Homo-oligomer: A and B are copies of this chain.
């Protein structure tokens, strides 16, 4: 059976986000002077074959730890989209 998950990966609070800071400046230069803060994150959608959702989710958690996220600097959440 096919299961689909959406993984949201965000930088841990307090870590600097140069991409966000640069984008905020660019937005201000474009006239959006009221922008206070911008930060970036990633979404990874994974479709996987597994006998049941619990097995699939456990694989996805392992993928996050091994490849998709950097657990030192990032937090991630996994939501089922099946």
* Contact present for A45 and B39 (CB under 8 Å): yes
CB contacts (< 8 Å) of A59 on chain B: these are: 32, 34
A48 close to B63 (CB less than 8 A):
no
Q: State in angstroms the CA–CA spacing of A2 and B46 once bound together.
A: 34
CA distance A30 to B66 in the complex (A): 9
Interface readout for A1-37 with B: 1 if CB under 8 Å, 0 if not? 0100000101000000000000100110010101111
Secondary structure dominating the interface of A: strand
Chain B residues with Cβ under 8 A from A68's Cβ?
Answer: 23
CB within 8 Å of B: which residues of A?
A: 2, 8, 10, 23, 26-27, 30, 32, 34-50, 59, 62-63, 66-68
